[in-house]
A = this chain, B = another copy of it.
Amino acid sequence: MRTLNVALGDRAYPIHIGRGLLAAPSLILPFLRTPRVVIVTNDVVGPLYLEGLQVALTGHGVRVDAVALPDGERHKDWQTLNLIFDKLLAERCERSTTLIALGGGVVGDMAGFAAATYQRGMPFIQIPTTLLSQVDSSVGGKTAINHPLGKNMIGAFYQPRLVLADISTLDTLPDRELKAGLAEVIKYGLIRDPALFEWLESNIERLLARDPDALTFAVERSCTNKAEVVAADETEQGERALLNLGHTFGHAIETGMGYGNWLHGEAVAAGTMMAAELSRRLGWISAEDVARIEVLHRRAGLPVQGPVLPVATYLDLMAHDKKVEAGRLRLVLLRAIGRAVIHGDAPPEAIAAAIEARCE
């Protein structure tokens, strides 16, 4: 097992990464304020891992309740969030009860938002079971639900007390979701870790074959990058926005196509290609760089083009982005492979042309 630290002062917390961690309740017990937890999972992950975790914790005298949400991004809404609150209140959970998210990004985002707001805040633990949530969404305290007009529009910054990334859970992850998670790993390479990008160019097939050492390396290296950025800029006043490479375009794809039809990672991949294309049109990176980025995404089994939506629809959806300031779209673009910047002055025609060039 490897352990990283998210350095946030009195809210610092560890990320444990390794195989078989779910069977080691001793990793969780020190972080419970009282011997009482509620596990939030979904109807796909629950049947695989819930009982084992429940038995392990119960064996140590912890009272465990659980709630299984319907699976998928389309359920990341008020109605589903209320299932968590209903359970917490029906079981008379106190504000000292610990909420545990057992699942992917949707479960983590919703459980985290519930923990942030139930009785104005209860302790929270992330146990991510997808590659995407292990490398990205479980770390850093962003929680949210979607609104019909925009993804992740309603949420809170709320840090977990512990992240437990059990690599073994990736054994059961569907191929499509494994690939989607790779999009966020590639992202770290592109924005700040050129050595990781090169490592991916050499090892992408090992990841697709679920080589445990390669997966562990990818998760650890991604979390290291994420933890550094979050520690420096918890509430996204500056540098943290770079983690959203491809996300402004990507969120437009997810919202525009209906939540869940494109996986988040797939939308980020296509969005990253749009950002790369725009960076090239601004003269910042070469056509060769764009090709290199495209090849890696293709090898990872990820889309390199967005869906065919009118460019006006893309722009309209992007105008809801959280990085918009004084009506101006601020985009994460590339100065090089391994170096991203925030840019608020891309000409609208160039943005439109980049989208156009990257719609199938």
Interface residue ranges, A against B (CB under 8 Å)? 34, 78, 82, 85-86, 89-90, 92, 94-96, 113, 116-121, 142, 144, 147, 149-150, 153-157, 235, 319-320, 322, 324-327
Partner of A155, one of B120, B142, B149: B120
Contact A89/B150 with A34-B326, A78-B78, A326-B34 known, Cβ cut-off 8 Å: yes
Copies of this chain held together in the complex: 2
Partner of A120, one of B89, B121, B157: B157
- Taking the closest CB of chain B, its distance from the CB of A326, in whole angstroms, is 6
B89 and A155 contacting across the interface, CB-CB below 8 Å: no
Chain B residues within an 8 Å CB radius of A149: 86, 89-90
- Bound CA–CA A90/B148 (angstroms): 11
- Bound CA–CA A117/B96 (angstroms): 22
Ranked nearest first, the 4 interchain pairs of A and B with the lowest CB-CB distance are A89-B149, A119-B322, A120-B155, A117-B154
- Taking the closest CB of chain B, its distance from the CB of A248, in whole angstroms, is 13
Contact A153/B322 with A121-B235, A235-B121 known, Cβ cut-off 8 Å: no
A155 and B94 contacting across the interface, CB-CB below 8 Å: no
Chain B residues within an 8 Å CB radius of A113: 117
Partner of A92, one of B94, B121, B147, B319: B319
Chain B residues within an 8 Å CB radius of A142: 120
- Taking the closest CB of chain B, its distance from the CB of A129, in whole angstroms, is 24
- Bound CA–CA A118/B154 (angstroms): 5
- Taking the closest CB of chain B, its distance from the CB of A64, in whole angstroms, is 16
Chain B residues within an 8 Å CB radius of A34: 326
Q: List 25 A-B contacts (CB under 8 A).
A: A78-B78, A78-B82, A85-B147, A85-B153, A86-B147, A89-B153, A89-B320, A92-B319, A92-B320, A94-B322, A94-B324, A95-B322, A96-B326, A113-B117, A116-B156, A117-B154, A118-B153, A119-B322, A120-B142, A120-B155, A120-B156, A120-B235, A120-B322, A121-B156, A121-B157
Contact A147/B235 with A117-B155, A153-B118, A326-B34 known, Cβ cut-off 8 Å: no
Chain B residues within an 8 Å CB radius of A92: 319-320, 324
- Bound CA–CA A319/B86 (angstroms): 15
- Bound CA–CA A124/B96 (angstroms): 28
- Bound CA–CA A319/B34 (angstroms): 17
